[in-house]
């Protein structure tokens, strides 16, 4: 039973580490940015969210996103 719990915890850690450490945000015409899951907020809010979650908010323009 203990071994099964250790394996479960190790797997959870492996999955958490496998997630990319950055999120790509795209600037919108109204001055906000749109995130990878469709969320929309100001650039400052996106950067604060990245700091709070330990992820890097990589912000690019909509023109660069098409390249």
Q: Domain boundaries in the chain? A: 20-67
Residue 6: the pLDDT is 76
CA separation for the pair 29, 47 (Å, rounded): 18
The string of pLDDT tens digits covering residues 26-51 is 999 999 999 999 999 999 999 999 99
Contact 65, 31 (CB under 8 A): no
Burial class of residue 33 in the structure, from the number of CB atoms within 10 Å of its CB (0-12 exposed, 13-18 middle, 19+ buried): buried
Total residue count of the chain as it appears in this document: 67
Q: Which residue has the tokens 């330990």?
A: 54
pTM summary value: 0.66
Confidence of residue 4 (pLDDT cuts 50, 70, 90): confident
Contact 15, 50 (CB under 8 A): no
């Amino acid at each position: 039973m203990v071994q099964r719990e250790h394996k479960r915890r190790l797997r959870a850690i492996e999955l958490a580490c496998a997630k990319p450490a950055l999120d790509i945000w795209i600037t919108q015409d109204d001055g906000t940015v749109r995130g990878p899951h469709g969320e929309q907020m100001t650039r400052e809010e996106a950067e604060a969210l990245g700091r709070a979650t330990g992820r890097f908010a990589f912000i690019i323009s909509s023109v660069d996103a098409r390249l």
